[in-house]
Amino acid sequence: MAQTLETLTRHSDTLTSIRGIVHTMKTLSAINAAPYEHAARSIEAYHQTILQGFAAFAHRTGGINLRQEDAVEHLVIVFGSDHGLCGNYNEVLAGVVQVHCQSQTIGKQHLLCIGAQMNDALDDQGLLPEAVLLPPASADGIGRLAGDIVTRIDRFNRGQPLHHLAVTLAFTQRGEHGTREPTIQNLLPLAPSLLQCEKRWDSRSLPDYTMEADALLSSLIRSHIFASVFRASAEAMVTENSARLALMQQAEQSVDERIEVVEGELRSVRQTEITNELMDVIIGFEALKKPKKRVISDNAITTLGKAHIGP
């Protein structure tokens, strides 16, 4: 069914408005990703300092053997998005988390979710988080979220030894060639390699410390947990904005293609209407140019014939 000029014009205006919205969201995604990426690089440098602190502590004390026992409780922290329009970003990670949780048969499992959209994705997988937190609204909010999660980990642990609680971080991080990869990272218990003494210390100054060993180790562990959670949150926000940017680019291309089709139909309908109007004008003009035919009745012809023959 052919569309009218008014319908096509309204359709074109609607598509133009949608394109403006899509372009704005694409721009915002590109702008928002930059601060989170900078935060991820900054915390990585800080985390390297913490790892060096572990190495110095282990070298000074001669190494510490951590107790390797099965954890009584297992906490999985899942970093997702609070807003949509980022494709299957949450669904892919939720599927990986569901497989991970099924593979864990020891200890009571707890789920801590970041983002309402991720909560819905986990619910579709049959997983029910015990708490849902808001993701950071800006790069400054990552520290707030990381501190809140560290406090919740302390609450879950309830002053028990480190091996009492297992903590896993589930988030999406950047891969090679601009790809995104769902990641499962074991945070607690601590990896034994963190507190193993290195045979060689690459410095002429031997490491030392003045505070109590237990207090220093506790501070290092807390900083390690904070930095790991901070990095996971920053990576999740970078990849979320990256996924939304890619989706908005596809949407913008689709809208542009649709606008081009509608504008082509609009030009065709306009040309058809103009042609019809010109044809009406030409037909009317030609009709006015033709001379009027004289209509002579039969009675008039008879009268003229008699007058010509005479009496």
The pLDDT tens digits of the residues spanning 232-268 come to: 999 999 999 998 888 888 888 998 999 988 888 888 8
Coil, helix or strand for 170?
A: strand
Q: CA 187, 136, 35, 92 torsion: positive or negative?
A: positive
Q: Are 185 and 47 in contact (CB under 8 A)?
A: no
The two tokens of residue 298 are 């039969």
pLDDT band at 308; cut points 50, 70, 90 = very low
* pLDDT digit string, tens, across residues 11-66: 888 888 888 888 888 888 888 889 999 999 999 999 999 988 888 888 888 767 66
Per residue, the 3-state secondary structure of 198-213, as one string, reads CCCCCCCCCCCCCCCH
The two tokens of residue 113 are 């979710």
Q: Is the pLDDT of residue 300 over 60?
A: no
What was the pLDDT predicted at 162? 61
pLDDT winner (highest mean) among 28-32, 78-82, 178-182 = 78-82
| CA–CA distance, 78 with 122 (Å, rounded to integer) | 9
Q: Which residues contact 115 (CB under 8 A, 6 or more apart)?
A: 79, 80, 81, 82, 90, 132, 133, 134, 135
* pLDDT digit string, tens, across residues 223-239: 999 999 999 999 999 99
Inter-helix orientation angle 141-157/213-289, to 10°: 130
Q: Is the pLDDT of residue 198 over 70?
A: no
* pLDDT digit string, tens, across residues 122-175: 999 999 999 999 999 899 999 999 999 999 988 887 766 666 788 999 999 988
Residue 240, φ and ψ in degrees, nearest 5:
-65, -45
Q: Which H/E stretch holds residue 290?
A: none
Percent of the chain exceeding pLDDT 70 equals 86
What was the pLDDT predicted at 1? 40
| CA–CA distance, 57 with 66 (Å, rounded to integer) | 14
| CA–CA distance, 198 with 166 (Å, rounded to integer) | 26
